[in-house]
C-alpha cells in the first residue's frame, strides 16, 4: 500500500504487545444462547477477527439487573464463564488478544428482562426517551426507579465479581462501559442524575460511581489490564450533560491517577456525526498518560491522519469489522470491503454473523 500509516505498526498496551493499531469495537449482536451464555458461534465470530490488534467483546452484563436487551451475554454465572472461556481459547489459539466489556445498562432496560419483572434502576427515576430490543423487536424502555444509596456498593461489587469472572474466563483484560447513556454515564451526566446525596449534584459527586467502579476493577484485574469507554457528548439513549468538558476533564484526570491502560473515547454522537457538539478531545489526550483509543466514524484515511498527528494511539473500528473479519488484511492490501447487512445486526444465527467471506485464494495468488 502506497500510503504510509502507523495503523499496521505494533503497539505496547501495558503487558500486551499488539501487532497493529486496529481495535475491534464492542458490537452488540444479541446471539447469546440459553442462560445468556456465549455459544459456539461466538467463538467462531471472534476467532475470525483475531487479526485485529485488540478485540473488545460485545458489552456483557455484570448481573441480571444490568441487562437491557434480549440475548446479550453475561459474565456472572459459571455457565457464562465457561462459554466465554471457549471464546478466549479460540482467539488465543489464533494469536489474538481479547478484552471483555463490562456493563450495567441502568435505565435502558425493560421490565421483562428484570428479576420478577421489576423496574430497571437509574440514578434518578427519569424514564429515557429510547428503545430497547426485546421479544425480537424494538420497544420503549421501562420506567426506572432510583437506586437507593445502600444499593450502590452492591453495584460496585458486581463489577468486581464480573472482573474476577472475566479473568477466570481467560480474558487479557477488561473494559468498563462508562459510555452511551448506560448506568455509569447516567450517574455522571446531569441530564439523568438529579440526586441530592453523595452521588449527585457536583461534578465530583456525579463522577464518583464511574471512578469507584474503575478503581475496584483495576484492583482486581490490574490497572495495566483495565480500560474504560467514555462518550462525552453523545446523545445516545437520551443522555446529556449541561457542561461536559469540565466533567470529563475531571473524570480523565482521576482515571489517569488510577493508571488505567487506556481510555476508549467516542468522539461525537455514537454511530453518528463527529461534530455534534464542541468538545476538546485533545484535552483528554493530554491528561491521560495511557493509551487513547479513538472511536466513531473512522475509515482508513481518517485513522491514518489522526495517528500521524499523534492525536490517538489506537483506532477502534465497529461496523467494518462486522462484515470484514479480515479487515486488517483488506486495508493493508487496498482490497474492497464487504458491505454489511443491517437486518442481521441484532439476533439470529450464523447469517450476517459468521458467514461474511474473507479474502479469496485468488487474491492471495495475485499478490
The enclosing domain of 238 has a CATH number of 3.20.20.70
Identify the three-state secondary structure at position 55.
Answer: strand
In sequence order, what are the residues at sequence separation of 6 or more whose Cβ sits closer than 8 angstroms to the Cβ of residue 309? none
Give the range among 58-72, 79-93, 171-185, 350-364 with minimum mean pLDDT. Answer: 350-364
Nearest to 314 by CA among 283, 284, 282, 291: 291
Instruction: Find the mean pLDDT for residues 189-204.
Output: 98
Residue 238 CB burial class (10 angstroms; 0-12, 13-18, ≥19)? middle
Residue 75: per-residue pLDDT: 98
**Does residue 1 carry a pLDDT above 70?**
no
Instruction: Find the mean pLDDT for residues 233-246.
Output: 98
Residue 362: per-residue pLDDT: 37
**Does residue 272 carry a pLDDT above 50?**
yes
Residue 42: per-residue pLDDT: 98
In sequence order, what are the residues at sequence separation of 6 or more whose Cβ sits closer than 8 angstroms to the Cβ of residue 95? 50
- Give me the chain's average pLDDT, please: 96
Contact 264, 293 (CB under 8 A): yes
| Gap between the Cα atoms of 209 and 214, Å rounded | 8
> CA Rg, the chain, in Å?
19
Bridge partners, residue 140, by sequence:
131
Residue 127 in any domain: the answer is yes
Residue 294 in any domain: the answer is yes
**Does residue 367 carry a pLDDT above 90?**
no
pTM of the entire predicted model:
0.96
**Does residue 16 carry a pLDDT above 50?**
yes
Of the residues 45, 46, 182, 281, only one is catalytic, namely 182
- The secondary structure element, H or E, covering residue 294 is strand 291-295
Please indicate whether residue 182 is annotated as part of the active site: yes
Share of the chain above pLDDT 90, in %: 96
Enclosing domain of residue 355: 6-366
Residue 283 in any domain: the answer is yes
| Gap between the Cα atoms of 217 and 161, Å rounded | 9
| Gap between the Cα atoms of 327 and 154, Å rounded | 40
Contact 290, 254 (CB under 8 A): no
Residue 69: per-residue pLDDT: 97
At 224, phi and psi to the nearest 5? -75, 0
Residue 1 in any domain: the answer is no
DSSP string, 119-171: PPEESSS---S-EEEETTEEEEPPPPEEPPGGGHHHHHHHHHHHHHHHHHTT-
Contact 329, 22 (CB under 8 A): no
Residue 10 in any domain: the answer is yes
| Gap between the Cα atoms of 123 and 206, Å rounded | 9
Residue 4: per-residue pLDDT: 80
Instruction: Find the mean pLDDT for residues 229-240.
Output: 98
The DSSP bridge pattern shows strands 314-317 and 22-24 to be parallel
| Domains identified in the chain, total number | 1
Residue 363: per-residue pLDDT: 52
Nearest to 59 by CA among 156, 177, 210, 170: 177
pLDDT digits (tens, 9 = 90+) for 71-111: 999 999 999 999 999 999 999 999 999 999 999 999 999 99
Instruction: Find the mean pLDDT for residues 267-274.
Output: 95
pLDDT bracket for residue 365 (50, 70, 90)? very low
pLDDT bracket for residue 286 (50, 70, 90)? very high
Nearest to 76 by CA among 65, 62, 66, 86: 62
**Does residue 35 carry a pLDDT above 60?**
yes
Amino acid at each position: 500500500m502506497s500510503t504510509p500509516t502507523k495503523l499496521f505498526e505494533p503497539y505496547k498496551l501495558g503487558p500486551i504487545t499488539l501487532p497493529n493499531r486496529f481495535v475491534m469495537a464492542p458490537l452488540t449482536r444479541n446471539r447469546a444462547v440459553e442462560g445468556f451464555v456465549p455459544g459456539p458461534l461466538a467463538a467462531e465470530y471472534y476467532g475470525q477477527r483475531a487479526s485485529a490488534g485488540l478485540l473488545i467483546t460485545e458489552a456483557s452484563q455484570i448481573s441480571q439487573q444490568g441487562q437491557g436487551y434480549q440475548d446479550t451475554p453475561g459474565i456472572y454465572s459459571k455457565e457464562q464463564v465457561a462459554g466465554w472461556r471457549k471464546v478466549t481459547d479460540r482467539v488465543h489459539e489464533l494469536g489474538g488478544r481479547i478484552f471483555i466489556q463490562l456493563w450495567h445498562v441502568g435505565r435502558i432496560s425493560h421490565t421483562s428482562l428484570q428479576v420478577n419483572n421489576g423496574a430497571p434502576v437509574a440514578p434518578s427515576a427519569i424514564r429515557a426517551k429510547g428503545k430497547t430490543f426485546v421479544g425480537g423487536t424494538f420497544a420503549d424502555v421501562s420506567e426506572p426507579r432510583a437506586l437507593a444509596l445502600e444499593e450502590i456498593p452492591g453495584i460496585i461489587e458486581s463489577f468486581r465479581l464480573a472482573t474476577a469472572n472475566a479473568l477466570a474466563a481467560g480474558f487479557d483484560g477488561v473494559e468498563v462501559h462508562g459510555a452511551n447513556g448506560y448506568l455509569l454515564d447516567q450517574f455522571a451526566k446531569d441530564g439523568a442524575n438529579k440526586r441530592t446525596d453523595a452521588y449527585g449534584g457536583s461534578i465530583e459527586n456525579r463522577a464518583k460511581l464511574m471512578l469507584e467502579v474503575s478503581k475496584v476493577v483495576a484492583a482486581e484485574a490490574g490497572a495495566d489490564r483495565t480500560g474504560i469507554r467514555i462518550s462525552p457528548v453523545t446523545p445516545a439513549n437520551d443522555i446529556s450533560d449541561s457542561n461536559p468538558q469540565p466533567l470529563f476533564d475531571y473524570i480523565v484526570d482521576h482515571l489517569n491517577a488510577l493508571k488505567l491502560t487506556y481510555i476508549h473515547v467516542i468522539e461525537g454522537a455514537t454511530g453518528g456525526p463527529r461534530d455534534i457538539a464542541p468538545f476538546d478531545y485533545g484535552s483528554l489526550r493530554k491528561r491521560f498518560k495511557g493509551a487513547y483509543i479513538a472511536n466513531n466514524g473512522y475509515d482508513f484515511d481518517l485513522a491514518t491522519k489522526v495517528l500521524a498527528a499523534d492525536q490517538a494511539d489506537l483506532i477502534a473500528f465497529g461496523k467494518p469489522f462486522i462484515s470484514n473479519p479480515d479487515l486488517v488484511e483488506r486495508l493493508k492490501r487496498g482490497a474492497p470491503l464487504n458491505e454489511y447487512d443491517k437486518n442481521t445486526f441484532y439476533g439470529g444465527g450464523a447469517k450476517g454473523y459468521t458467514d461474511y467471506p474473507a479474502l479469496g485464494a485468488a487474491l492471495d495468488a495475485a499478490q
